[in-house]
Amino acid sequence: MIKFEGVHKWFKKLHVLNGIDLHVKQGEVVVVCGPSGSGKSTLIRTINQLEPIEEGTLVVDGMDLRSKKTDLNKLRAEVGFVFQQFNLYPHLSVIDNITLAPIKIRKTSKKEAQEQAMELLERVGLAVKRDAYPTQLSGGQQQRVAIARALAMKPRIMLFDEPTSALDPEMIGEVLAVMQDLASTGMTMVCVTHEMGFAREVSDRVVFMDHGVILEEAQPEEFFRNPQHDRAKQFLKQLLSPMH
Amino acid sequence: MLKYTFDWSIVTSGKYFEWLVSGLKVTLELSVVGIVCAFILGLLIAVLKMSHYRPVRWIATAYLEFFRNTPLLVQIFFWYFGSYKVLPAAVNEWLNSTNFEFAAAAIALTIYTSAFIAEDIRSGILSIPKEQMEAARSAGFSYLRSMQYIILPQAVRITIPPLVNQFLNLAKNSSLAMSIGVMELTYQARQVESYTFKGFEAFTAATVVYLGLSVVITALMDLYNKKVLNPQRA
C-alpha cells in the first residue's frame, strides 16, 4: 500500500530523511515513534506529498509519487490526513467541514454527503454538534470531527500526525478510542504518536526513528519488551519514567 | 454683513431637484458597478500576486504598482481621451454607440480601486495560518479550489473593515467622472450652481447625499458581516 525505497529529503542542509525503506501493507496499522526532530512527522507528510522528496521512490496506493503523471490531488483524496492542531475550517459548521470535500471533489449530492456525515458524526459520538462551529468545541471534539472529515472522503489510507499531542490528558482517550475503532475496520493506518498504550494494543508494527533513519522495526510486544537499539531503549525509558 | 439669501427650495423641489436626483442615479450606478467589478478584479489580482509562478507574480505586481501610484484623474483621462486612439475601429464604433463616458469612468474607477482592494485581500490571505492551506490540499483540493473554498472566505471576513474603506473611496471618487462629462451627482450640482448661482445650496445638497450614500454602504457591509459571514456570533 505504501512503499518507501531509499527515500531522502533535505531541508536546506538538514538531512531530515536519510535513506528510508518502509513497506506498509494493506490493513496494517503502523506506529512511528522517536524523539522530536527525528523526522517522523516529515516521514508521514511525504506520504501525501505535503513534503516532496528529493531522492528514492515512494509508491502510495499504486501511484509513484515522483512520476510527473501522478495527479497529487487525486492521491490526496484517497489519503486521509489528521493533524496535530486539527485544522478544521473555522468559517464552516461541523457538518459543512465534513461535507465540503465530498461535495466539491467527489461530486456527491448534498443530501447524500450530509447523511454520510451524520453517520460519521454518530460514529465519533458528536452527532449533537452538527451545527456547532469549531471554536465552540473542545480540542478532543475538534480532533474527532477532523477524523470524521478525513473519513468522509472514504480514504484508502489514514495518516495521523501526533493526533493527541495538542490535547489535554482527559481528552486523549476519546480520540484514541475513535482511532482504535477505525483500526478494527481494517483501515490502513500510519500514526506518528507517543501514545505507547495505543501502539502496544492497536498497532501491528512499531517503527522507531532517529536523525532521519529508521533504527528499529518490530512487533509492538517485542519492541516494548526487548528493544534492540540503544537509542530506542533510552527513548522508551524516558517515555515511561520521564522524571529519571 | 452676510448679503447672501439662502434658497433651499431649489434643491428640494422642481427642475433642479430632478437634476440632482438624476445625478444621484448615475453616481449609484457608477458606484455599484465599480464596487462589484473592483472587488472581483481585486480578488483575482490578490491570488495572482501569490502565485507560485514568478512571471505571474511580476505581472500582478506591475499592475498593482502602476495603478496604485498614478492619479485617478489621469487614469480617467487616459481611458476617455487616450484609449480610443489605439483601439480597432469596430470597437470604437461600438463604444460610441454606448455611453462611452460612463464606461471610461467605470473602467478607471474599477481598475484603480481593484489595486488597493487586492493589497487588502492579500494581507487578509497572509493572515490565514498556512495549516489551513495544508488541510485543504490534504483533502484533495487544488491550489485554486483551496483558495476558493477555504482561504478566501476566511480572508474576506478579516478584510471587511479595509474593504469598506475602499468601497467608500470608490463611491466618493466617482465624482471625478464629471471631468469627462459623466452626468453624475457632482456634475449636476455644478449645473445647478451655474444656472442659479446658488452654489452653497447645490453643494450642500451634494455633500449630504454623498454622506448618506457612505452611511448606507457602511451599514450594508456591517449587516452582511453580521448576518451572512458570522452567523455563529449573531
pLDDT at B188: 95
Question: What are the residues of chain B with a beta carbon less than 8 Å away from any beta carbon of chain A?
Answer: 131-132, 134-142, 145, 149-150, 153-154, 157, 229, 232
pLDDT at A195: 92
Contacts with A166 from chain B: Cβ below 8 Å: none
Give the residue-averaged pLDDT of B185-206: 94
Give the C-alpha separation, B40 to B37, whole Å: 5
Residue A73 to chain B, least CA–CA distance (Å):
4
Interface check A205 vs B, CB under 8 A: no
Q: Judge: A50–B137 Cβ closer than 8 Å, yes or no.
A: yes
Residue A77 to chain B, least CA–CA distance (Å):
4
* pLDDT tens track for B62-79: 999 999 999 999 999 999
Residue B141 to chain A, least CA–CA distance (Å):
6
Q: Judge: B141–A48 Cβ closer than 8 Å, yes or no.
A: no
Number of folded domains in chain B?
1
Asked if residue B121 belongs to a domain, the reply is yes
* pLDDT tier, B83 (very low <50, low <70, confident <90, very high otherwise): confident
Q: Quick one: three-class SS letters along chain A?
A: CEEEEEEEEEECCEEEEEEEEEEECCCCEEEEECCCCCCHHHHHHHHCCCCCCCEEEEEECCEECCCCCCCHHHHHHHEEEECCCCCCCCCCCHHHHHHHHHHHCCCCCHHHHHHHHHHHHHHCCCHHHCCCCHHHCCHHHHHHHHHHHHHCCCCCEEEEECCCCCCCHHHHHHHHHHHHHHHHCCCEEEEECCCHHHHHHHCCEEEEEECCEEEEEECHHHHHHCCCCHHHHHHHHHHHCCCC
Q: Name which of B137, B138, B150, B160 to mutate to probe chain A: the one with the most chain A Cβ atoms within 10 A of its Cβ.
A: B138
Residue of B nearest to A134 (CA): B232
Average pLDDT, chain B: 91
Residue of A nearest to B134 (CA): A50
Q: Judge: B232–A136 Cβ closer than 8 Å, yes or no.
A: yes
pLDDT at B1: 64
* pLDDT tens track for B98-118: 888 999 999 999 999 999 999
Set of cell numbers at residue B96: 460610441
Give the CATH number of the domain where residue B18 resides. Answer: 1.10.3720.10
Q: Judge: B149–A104 Cβ closer than 8 Å, yes or no.
A: yes
Residue B54 to chain A, least CA–CA distance (Å):
20
Contacts with A76 from chain B: Cβ below 8 Å: 137-140
Asked if residue B79 belongs to a domain, the reply is yes
Using CB atoms, which residue from B138, B145, B154 is nearest to A104?
Answer: B145
pLDDT at B32: 96
Q: Judge: A105–B140 Cβ closer than 8 Å, yes or no.
A: yes
pLDDT at A244: 60
Residue A130 to chain B, least CA–CA distance (Å):
13
* pLDDT tier, B233 (very low <50, low <70, confident <90, very high otherwise): very low
Rounded (10°) CA dihedral A213, A218, A220, A223: -80
- pTM, whole model, 2 decimals? 0.82
* pLDDT tier, B10 (very low <50, low <70, confident <90, very high otherwise): confident
Angle at B96 between CA B93 and CA B102, to 5 degrees: 140
* pLDDT tier, B234 (very low <50, low <70, confident <90, very high otherwise): very low
Residue B159 to chain A, least CA–CA distance (Å):
14
Asked if residue B1 belongs to a domain, the reply is no
pLDDT at B231 > cutoff 60: no
Q: Give residue B191's domain range.
A: 9-233
pLDDT at B228 > cutoff 80: no
Q: Judge: B139–A48 Cβ closer than 8 Å, yes or no.
A: no
Q: Judge: A73–B142 Cβ closer than 8 Å, yes or no.
A: yes
Residue of A nearest to B135 (CA): A87
Asked if residue B108 belongs to a domain, the reply is yes
Asked if residue B3 belongs to a domain, the reply is no
- What 3-state class would DSSP assign to B82? helix
Asked if residue B51 belongs to a domain, the reply is yes
Give the C-alpha separation, B153 to B138, whole Å: 18
Q: Judge: B137–A76 Cβ closer than 8 Å, yes or no.
A: yes
Using CB atoms, which residue from B138, B154, B229 is nearest to A81?
Answer: B138
Contacts with A105 from chain B: Cβ below 8 Å: 139-141
Asked if residue B4 belongs to a domain, the reply is no
Interface check A48 vs B, CB under 8 A: yes
Asked if residue B96 belongs to a domain, the reply is yes
**What is chain A's pLDDT, residue by residue, as a tens digit (244 residues)?**
999 999 999 999 999 999 999 999 999 999 999 998 899 999 999 999 999 999 999 999 999 999 989 999 999 999 999 999 999 999 999 999 999 999 999 999 999 999 999 999 999 999 999 999 999 999 999 999 999 999 999 999 999 999 999 999 999 999 999 999 999 999 999 999 999 999 999 999 999 999 999 999 999 999 999 999 999 999 998 887 777 6
Interface check A83 vs B, CB under 8 A: yes
